[in-house]
Amino acid sequence: MSDRVIVIIGFVLVLMVTLGVVVVTHVRRDLIAPVGETVAYLTRTRVARIAAVLIWAWVGWHFLAR
């Protein structure tokens, strides 16, 4: 298997896990908080929002820019 195929499989797995978590959060609100509420809670301060943007930029630069 080439590196490209491994990366594509990894992205598909991440997407599937993310979709699974979103479905579980909509079905069982008592078990896990919805993704939107979790992100809102984690980015409620200015420092956290800046850190989230910097992390997203780093991920984009290193993994998505090709």
Residue range 13-64, pLDDT digits in tens: 999 998 998 888 888 888 888 878 888 998 999 999 999 999 989 888 877 7
Judgement on whether residues 4 and 22 belong to the same structural domain of the protein: yes
Q: Which domain holds residue 61?
A: 33-66
- Looking at residue 36, its pLDDT comes to 84
Task: Mark whether 25 and 37 lie in a shared domain.
Answer: no
**Are the CB atoms for 48 and 42 separated by under 8 Å?**
yes
Give the total number of structural domains in the chain: 2
41 and 12 within one domain: no
What was the pLDDT predicted at 66? 63
Same domain as 37, residue 8: no
Closest C-alpha to 33, from 45, 24, 25, 41: 25
Same domain membership, residue 38 and residue 25: no
